[in-house]
Amino acid sequence: MNASITAEDLRAWNGDGYVVKRARFSKEEVDSYINHFMKLRESGTYEGDFSGVDISSADPLKKYPRMIHMHRWDEFSMKWMIDARINECLTAITGKSPYAVQTMLYFKPAGARGQALHQDQFYLKVQPGTSLAAWLALDECSEATGCIRVVPGSHKLPLLCTTKADTTQSFTDVTVPVPADMPVVPVLMQPGDMLFFNGELIHGSLPNTTTDKFRRALIGHYISGEAEKVAHWYHPAYRMDGTVIGLETSPDGGPCGVWAEKDGKREVVLTGSGPVHNLHE
C-alpha cells in the first residue's frame, strides 16, 4: 500500500467518490502560492480569466476572477500541476499515473457566488475512463466561506442532464438535479489540505457569506492514465513528468441521464445529449 493512500482512503474513494488528505502541502508552500497568484491577479488579465478584471464592479468575481490554464504560461503553475505528491496519490488511487490537463485558481472573495452542483466529466468527456480532480485549499474552507460540497456515492451514477441554476447563488447557469434522499455534504478543509475526487462525483459550492475572508483554491484536473480522448478545451495533455502526450479529441455532446420513477423506485434513465461548456470548478 502506498504510504500516502491507506486502505481506508481506497474504501472512501470507491464508496464515496472522494478522499481528503490533510496537510498535504506545508504552510510555507501555501503562503508562496497565495503570494504568487495574488501578485499575478493584481498585475492584469490573462487568457481564460472569467469575464475579465473590473475593480469598479460590485461583483466580487469581477474584481477577482478565476484564472484558468495557468500552466500554459506560468512555470510555477506547471510545477505544481505535476507535483510528485499529487501524482503519488492519484496513481495509488487509480492504479496508473494520470495525465494532467488543466490548472485553475479560484479566489472566491467575501460575497462571491459559488457554483451550482455539477459533474466534471460532463465537460471533460474523457474516453475511456474519467476525469480526476486535485483540489488544494489555500484558505480555511468552511460553510461560511463557501466550501466544496459533495454528494457521496454520486460517482456511481451516469452523467446527468443539466437544468437551469439559480444565478443569484451560482456564477454558472446550469446544475444537475439531486433527489432529496441524496445528502449534499460540506467538505471542511484547512490550508494545505487536498481533496481528490472522481470526475463523475456531483459537487459544487455555495456563496462566500463572510465580509472579509477569501476561499482561495488551487485546482488541477487530470484524466485517467488509460485515456485516449478528451474534450478540445483540455489539449494538450501532459504526462506527470511534464512531457506532452498526444490524445484524440472527444466528440461534442453525448448521452446524459434524467431521474425517473420505475416500479416505485427512482432511477436515472439515459436520454438526449448536453452542450459542451468549459469547466469552471
- For residues 192 and 27, is the Cβ–Cβ distance under 8 A? yes
Longest dimension (CA), the chain: 59
Q: Measured at the alpha carbon of residue 109, what is the angle toward residues 189 and 194, in degrees to the nearest 5?
A: 25
Question: What is the grid cell recorded at 154?
Answer: 454520486
Q: Which residues, listed in sequence order, are joined to residue 160 by a DSSP beta bridge?
A: 257
What residues have CB less than 8 Å from 142, skipping those under 6 apart? 188
- Please, what is the angle between helix 7-16 and helix 84-94, to 10°? 70
pLDDT tens for the chain, residues 1 to 281:
345 899 999 999 999 999 999 999 999 999 999 999 999 999 888 877 766 778 778 889 889 999 999 999 999 999 999 999 999 999 999 999 999 999 999 999 999 999 999 999 999 999 999 999 999 999 999 999 999 999 999 999 989 999 999 999 999 999 999 988 899 999 999 999 999 999 999 999 999 999 999 999 999 999 999 999 999 999 999 999 999 999 999 987 667 777 676 666 777 776 765 444 333 33
Please give the pLDDT value at position 277.
39
Question: What is the grid cell recorded at 142?
Answer: 468552511
Please give the pLDDT value at position 89.
97
Q: In this structure, which topology does domain 7-271 adopt according to CATH?
A: Jelly Rolls (2.60.120)
- For residues 281 and 204, is the Cβ–Cβ distance under 8 A? yes
Q: Could you give the CA distance from residue 166 to residue 187 in angstroms, rounded to a whole number? A: 22
pTM greater than 0.85 (yes/no)? yes
Neighbours of 95 (CB within 10 A): 10
**E strands in the chain:** 18-21, 67-68, 99-106, 115-118, 131-137, 148-150, 163-164, 174-175, 185-186, 194-198, 203-205, 217-223, 229-230, 237-238, 244-245, 248-249, 256-262, 265-271
Compute, in degrees rounded to 10, the torsion defined by CA atoms 50, 53, 59, 61. Answer: 40
